[in-house]
Structures are given as structure tokens and as C-alpha cells.
Amino acid sequence: MKIAMVGTGYVGLVSGTCFAETGVDVTCVDIDKTKIDNLNKGILPIWEPGLEDMVVRNVNRKTLHFTTSLKEALERGVEVVFSAVGTPPDEDGSADLQYVLEVARQVGAYMTDYLVMVTKSTVPIGTAEKVRKIIQEELDKRGLDLSFDVSSNPEFLKEGSAIQDFLKPDRIVIGVDSPKAEAIMLKLYRPFELNNYPIIVMDIPSAEMTKYAANSMLATKISFMNDIANLCEIVGADAQNVRRGIGSDTRIGSQFLYPGAGYGGSCFPKDVKALIKTADENHYSLDILKSVEAVNNRQKKVLYTKVLRYFKGQLEGKTIALWGLSFKPNTDDMREAPALVFIEKMLEQGVKIKAYDPVAMEESKRRIGDVVEYGENQYDILREADALVVITEWSDFRLPDLDKMALLMNNKAIFDGRNIYNPQELLSLGWYYEAIGSHKNQ
Ligand code: NAD
């Protein structure tokens, strides 16, 4: 079976490579020539555990190909074309569909036989219909009477564990409106079905909505817990205890209940915004999600507020060490990362920031340049620091050498944005320690 995966970013590269792993012949297409040239040399554009080996293995066994030409990919006789291009937020918060619709236009312009055009990108309800219309218009322009189907197959993988998530999914959602497309999609996913991963076939609008509803629900859990954690601090409760107390209720579940410095990344912020916008356009107000967004925007400033309060508003000339830059561990992705908000607010106050991240420093340099000083390792940046702020819970930061840290730092203060340290231990060793949602602050 031959397929094309258009858009070779986090989702496209992982999905394409994992399909290749099951024996499918996959052509990954991207308009970014440097990305494709590098991939052809075995150099990956993203950092994702286990991906490099898998890409190299499948390139060598010729199940995975890379090109900048969708036309060339279509000429290989593909049965399925996935669109995994970006859908960034437009200025008004709605999903910008220009890349998805451009892929549809090219498919209509170059397809030579029946195929299923599948949208894997996260797109608003009704996008499949827009895609269908554009392909048909292009075919009409060419005077060709070719049949095709559209499908929605949203992706639920998480950066940092993307390969595991793709190969061992909780479920696969397939939106189709033709038996032929359904049969082709089920054939493609047969290796997953054989391994008993649930495949849920549904109508296309419901599949499109499922992805937004899933991300919105997860974002809601995070903002809910952050809100409760902030109240815990005020009333003298401990959010960690509350988290355990409610997470053990199977109706609630323990995941996504960790209070922290706010959610970021390429998905939750933009998907919550886009669903709010879809509802607004349909004269319905998604009040819960509006609050989820507002709570998260406030939460991204929580570490800044704590540090400001600790230094009694006098931040000018201070040096703060920052552990973590990526929006979560095991990725170099910094889209909407809380670290960016923290850095911006601190620089406004005349603070010197020294930062370290195990993999995201190159990405940080690309985004914000040298406005912060980068360290060789996590201890390097502690020299003469007035406080340490932990914003990403990389495993490297979990059991640090506290004696060494005390010798390096000007002042023994830790602001833990991910609640990874033992407060009693730090307090007994004379550290000032603040986490999120705990009253045991000093
Ligand atoms: P990304 O920005 O990493 O990758 C998108 C790629 O598409 C880029 O390499 C870009 O050059 C390419 N592209 C744009 N226009 C193109 C065109 N006309 N032809 C070929 N390539 C083109 O994006 P991503 O993070 O992989 O996300 C892709 C989609 O998947 C988004 O809709 C996102 O919401 C969704 N999604 C992302 C994740 C995630 O964890 N990143 C998870 C699930 C779903």
C-alpha cells in the first residue's frame, strides 16, 4: 500500500515513519527544502525520542521517502494522501486553513487516480467539505472525471512520546462518508486493529469535533487544577494532597491534574481558541473554555508573580537561573511555552536570565536569540544566581545535587513550577522553596 504524508513536522514525520514501520510505502512531502534535504541525509528537523533510528531504518529499507514535490508523490500511485500541515491560529483565534486548503488544491491539480484525501491536521468542523470542494474545482479545471473521497483522521499523539502514542494508541478515530474510503482506511490501520487498538469509525464532522473536544477537555483539567492550586495556597491547603485525593476517583482520573506553570505547546492553546471561535461563529458561547483560557494566561505568569513577591518588587539587577525552556519535557518544542512568558516578564524588570534546557536551547536561540545567557549544563547557570526557577520537569532536574547548588548560588531560593521537589527536604536544608499550590512556602 502506498500513501503520501504532506507536511513533515511533528505529526507528519512521526505518523509517516510509523506507517512505514508497518510496511506501508510512505512518501513524506514538505515545502521546506532544507528540511527535506536534511531528512534525505538522515538529519531530523525535530527532537523526538526514538524517531531518528526509525527514520533511518525505514529509509534504508525503502519504505520511507522524502520529497518537496507532492506531484511526484502522487505519481507514485498513492491510495491515501494525508494532510498533516500546520493549522496555526489566525489573528482572531480561528484555525488558519491556508496550508490545508493549499494541499487540497495541489491534490486536485495533480492526482491521476482515485484516492482518499485524509485530514490529519486539527481542523474545524466543516473543513473536509472545503477540501472536497477545492479538489473537485481543480479536477473540473482539468476536465477530469476522477473520483475521490475525503476523510478525517485526527491525531492524538503527544510530543515526547509520539512514537509510542502513534503505535499504541488509546483509539484511532476515522471519519468517513463512503464505504470505499472506510475500507481503505481500515486496511491501512489493520496492523493496529490486529493489536487490539480500538478503531472508532464515525461521520466526518464528529471526527473533526472529537479532536477539539479531547484537547479542550485536557486543557480544562489542567486549568481546573491550577485554579484549585492557587486557592489552596490562599486557604492553606496542599494541592498535591488534593490532586491525589481527587485523582484516585476513577470518574475523574489522575492524569492532567498536576498543577504547574500553565499549559503551552502547539496544540492546547490554539485548539481551545479555535473551538471558542467556532462556537462564537455559531452564536454559542463556550463559557467553560473561555475561562480555561483565561486561567491559563494567568497561570503562565504565576512564577513571575512569586519571584517578584519574594524580591519585594525589586528585581532590577538580579540574576535568575531558569531550568527548562521547552513547553514540556522530552521535546524541543517551545511554541507557547510558559518559559517565553516568564523570560519576557523578567527582562522587562531588568533581570538577567541564565537558562539551561537539555534539548531546546537551539530552538530558544532561534526564537529569542541571546536575550538570555545559555549554559553548558544545569549547574553552570547557577553561578551567582539569586534564585532558581524550574519551569520544565525534565528528568535531569529531578534529583539535583543540592550541596553543589548551594555553593554556586548567591542565594538559596527555588521556585518550582512543576512541584518536583520535596518541600520538607529543601526547607530542612535552609532553602527558600515555593512550589505551585502549597502553603509550605517558607
Ligand atoms: P509543524 O509545524 O511541526 O509541521 C507542519 C509542516 O507542514 C511544516 O514542516 C511545513 O513546512 C509543512 N507544510 C506547510 N504547508 C505545506 C504544503 N503546502 N505542502 C507540504 N508541506 C507543507 O506542525 P505539527 O506540530 O506537526 O502539527 C500539524 C497538525 O497536526 C496541526 O494541525 C496540529 O494541530 C496537529 N497536531 C499536532 C500535534 C503535536 O503534538 N504537534 C498533535 C496532534 C495534532
Please, which pLDDT band fits residue 91 given cuts at 50, 70 and 90? confident
pLDDT, position 442:
46
pLDDT, position 441:
52
Please, which pLDDT band fits residue 394 given cuts at 50, 70 and 90? very high
Residue that has been written with the C-alpha cell 531546546 in this structure: 360
**CA 28 / ligand 1 centre spacing (Å):** 12
- Residue of 99, 84, 165, 91 whose CA lies nearest to 130: 99
Given the residues 18, 28, 232, 267, select the one marked as catalytic. Answer: 267
208 lines ligand 1 (CB under 6 A): no
Say whether pLDDT at 345 is over 60. yes
- Between CA 78 and CA 182 the distance in angstroms is 16
Say whether pLDDT at 35 is over 50. yes
pLDDT, position 382:
98
**CA 86 / ligand 1 centre spacing (Å):** 3
| Per-residue model confidence as pLDDT tens digits over 49-68 | 999 999 999 999 999 999 99
pLDDT, position 150:
98
Say whether pLDDT at 440 is over 90. no
Q: Residues 338, 296: contact at Cβ < 8 Å?
A: no
Three cell numbers, residue 229: 492550586
Q: In what order do the strands lie in the sheet with 432-434?
A: 373-374, 352-356, 319-323, 387-390, 413-416, 432-434
Active site residue 18: no
pLDDT, position 439:
66
**CA 219 / ligand 1 centre spacing (Å):** 20
pLDDT, position 341:
98
Q: In what order do the strands lie in the sheet with 64-67?
A: 64-67, 25-29, 2-6, 80-83, 116-119, 149-152, 172-176, 199-202
- Between CA 143 and CA 155 the distance in angstroms is 34
Report the residue among 13, 51, 85, 210 best suited for mutation to probe ligand 1: largest number of ligand atoms under 8 A from its CB. 85
| Per-residue model confidence as pLDDT tens digits over 275-331 | 999 999 999 999 999 999 999 999 999 999 999 999 999 999 999 999 999 999 999
Q: Is the entire prediction scored with pTM above 0.75?
A: yes
| Per-residue model confidence as pLDDT tens digits over 153-201 | 999 999 999 999 999 999 999 999 999 999 999 999 999 999 999 999 9
| Per-residue model confidence as pLDDT tens digits over 359-378 | 999 999 999 999 999 999 99
Q: Whose CA is nearest to atom 41 of ligand 1?
A: 10
Three cell numbers, residue 290: 473561555
Could you give phi then psi for residue 35, rounded to 5 degrees? -60, -45
**CA 122 / ligand 1 centre spacing (Å):** 9
The residues near 142 (Cβ < 8 Å, ≥ 6 apart) are 108, 109
Q: Whose CA is nearest to atom 28 of ligand 1?
A: 86
pLDDT, position 93:
87
**CA 182 / ligand 1 centre spacing (Å):** 24
239 lines ligand 1 (CB under 6 A): no
Q: Whose CA is nearest to atom 22 of ligand 1?
A: 7
- Mean pLDDT of the chain, nearest integer: 96
pLDDT, position 81:
98
Closest ligand 1 atom to 95 CA:
32
